[in-house]
Structure 1
Amino acid sequence: MPKLQKKVLFCLAGTLSFACALAIAAALGIQLWVRGTVLCKTGALLVNATGDELQKFIGEIQYGLFYGQRVKQCGLGGRPTTFSFFPDLLNVIPASMHVSVVIFTTALIVFALVGTSFFMFNAFGKPYETLHGPVGLYLWCFISCSCGCLVLILFSSEVKMHKLSEKIANYKEGGFLFKTQTEHFENSFWIVLVCTLVHFSNVFLIRLAGFDFPFSKSKELDTSSGAIDLMY
């Protein structure tokens, strides 16, 4: 493949990686990871609310990785309150899992920036070592994909399996019990998913530039070395 086309492909992959780093950095700091509604079950049972009356006991909740907001509805109007995960909710939520999500999200930003620099170095520089060349590009893309997958899996498990929204809604609520009605992932979660797919697609851009996958290349080297051994 001509050098110009390789430069264009590497520049495209580097630009995509840099855009992913910026997008994930923005997603990390906002509270648009999960949005849902919670039912004040205690209040609804006290007045035996049904139908339209039940809407007076359904509040809202939304949160990110660091802070969020909830609106309690117990029949007397909404009561908006804000909360933060650190350090308020560490005794309520699965803290190790939540901290892991934050760490892997930060790592995803770092490795996306590292991948960007190496893509640009391969486009305009002269790679002279293994990790500076195509093998290194495959490595950074693989690490970025792995971090993105871990973020998605851990956060989904935290929300769905550990019922994170309910634990947040019932935080410091001695007399009322809240039950999650609906919950869905918001923009920040889908940004991480899209960026993970972008890093995966960068692997095929490297292959399109004319560089074989590392494993297939190693197999070719093994067969050639075996033939040389047989000759001698």
Structure 2
Amino acid sequence: MFFKRRTTFSFLTAVIALVSFILLAWAIWSPYWVNANLLKDDGKYNTTLPLRQFYGTNPIDDTDPGAFSGVAYYGLFRGCKRFNYGFGGRDWVCFSIYKEHSGIYSTSVVIVVIVFIFIALLFSLIATVFGLVNTLAVPIETMYGPVGLYLWNGIAVIASGLAAILYVLLYAVKMKDEVLHEDDRNQPNNFLTDFTYLGNAYFLLLAACALFAINFIFVALAQYSHNPDAFKSKKNKKRSDPNYNSGTMRSDVGSGLIY
């Protein structure tokens, strides 16, 4: 049957590794790792006329957050923000997170996340290449076969998993409550972070990590299709060997002749 062929599972391994590479590349370049809603701090702006009843009213276009509100989003390299001071949305202002957010959280952690993602990108490419090699031939060298595919996908899943864990910890500890530069928080701007949430790019990273883990299943199926005894212990392999019992019988016969 089609799904019993080793080449099918090897090809699926290569395809999944390639899809993971695309997801990682998309995630690392995307500016939508964190999204934030912003509000004008009416306590600072006007203590006698609270503005909360006007928050978000009268937007002038689809990306305008509305009166006395703001929006922001950012990724691993850059981000953008837009404020509405009550007279229509201002123009988008884009920034480098390494300048804008240096006083909010440790941007060195973001650099470590990027390094881990690049490691996962590299080994996803290697897994793709060797998945195709296993599709077209049965490699003689151990590292070119299933063992290598386990290793390449294993490194990729560890690297992408560590990147995801580091970023979500940084988000939970530092980004969840504040994403604005002090110039935006102080007078005359007086904006504050209302709430934040993880964007689509972070979930692309999680999806890539999950696909690397799924690849272990396809590598195992490819290995089993080629050699059904691959996962048996040495003792069980001997018992399944047709010459095992005959060899035992011959030794018994030999012992009988001696006696």
Q: TM-score normalised to the size of structure 1?
A: 0.80
Paired residues of 1:134 and 1:211 also in contact (CA < 8 A): no
Aligned pairs for 1:36-47 (under 5 A) are 36-41=36-41, 46=46, 47=49
**1:104 touches 1:147 (CA, 8 Å); kept in 2?**
yes
TM-aligned CA deviation for residue 93 of structure 1: 2.7
From 86, 91, 105, the equivalent of 1:93 is 105
1:137 aligns with 2:149: yes
Spell out, residue by residue over 1:136-175, the C-alpha distance to the aligned partner (whole angstroms, 9 max, x if none): 11111111111121121111122221126723x2343342
SS state of the match for residue 174, structure 2? Answer: coil
Seen in structure 2, the aligned counterparts of structure 1 residues 188 and 3 have a Cα distance that, compared at 3 Å, is closer
| Alpha-carbon contact 1:21-1:109 (below 8 Å) kept | yes
Corresponding position of 2:250:
none
Contact 2:36–2:72, Cα closer than 8 Å, also in 1? yes
CA contact (8 A) 1:166 1:178 kept: no
Q: CA deviation at 1:74?
A: 3.4
Pick the aligned partner of 2:70 from 48, 52, 59.
Answer: 59
Q: What SS does the aligned partner of 1:161 have?
A: helix
The answer to whether structure 1 residue 179 and structure 2 residue 199 are counterparts is: no
2:17 counterpart residue number: 17
Residue aligned with 2:183, SS: coil
Amino acid at match of 1:115: A
Amino acid at match of 1:12: L
Q: Provide, for residues 24-76 of structure 1, a one-character-per-residue CA deviation record: whole Å limited to 9, x for no partner.
A: 2122212122222112225665242233x133222101111111111123334
Deviation at 1:182, TM superposition (A): 2.8
Aligned-pair identity (%): 24
- Tell me the TM-score normalized by structure 2: 0.73
Q: Please, which runs of 5 or more residues in structure 1 have no aligned partner?
A: 225-232
Query: Which amino acid counterpart does residue 34 of structure 2 have in structure 1?
Result: V
Distance 1:133 1:197 in 2: 22
Q: How much has 1:10 moved relative to structure 2?
A: 0.6
Cα-to-partner distance string for 1:102-152 (whole Å, 9 max, x where unaligned): 111111111110111111122223423332221111111111111121121
Matches of residues 200-219 of structure 1 in structure 2 within 5 Å?
A: 200-211=213-224
Tell me, what secondary structure is at the counterpart of 2:223?
Answer: coil
- Tell me which residue corresponds to 1:27: 27
Q: Aligned equivalents of 1:59 and 1:157: distance in 2?
A: 25
CA distance in 2 between partners of 1:20 and 1:180 (Å): 33
* RMSD of equivalent CA atoms: 3.0
Deviation at 1:91, TM superposition (A): 4.6
Tell me the CA shift for residue 96 of structure 1: 1.9
Per the TM alignment, residue 202 of structure 1 is displaced from its structure 2 partner at its CA by 0.6
> What is the deviation of 1:192?
1.2
Give the 3 Å change call, closer, same or farther, for CA 105–43 of structure 1 in structure 2. Answer: farther
TM-fit CA distance, 1:78:
2.6
Bigger Cα Rg:
2
How far is the alpha carbon of 1:87 from its aligned partner?
4.6
Amino acid at match of 2:211: V
Q: Which residue of 1 aligns with 2:127?
A: 115
2:55 partner letter: L
The letter of the residue matching 1:70 is K
The answer for unaligned runs of 5 or more in structure 2 is 57-66, 238-259
Q: How far 1:222 moved relative to its partner?
A: 10
Cα pair 1:44 1:54 within 8 Å, conserved: no
Q: CA distance change for structure 1 residues 221 and 177 in 2, over 3 Å: closer, same or farther?
A: farther
SS of the aligned residue for 2:93 comes to: strand
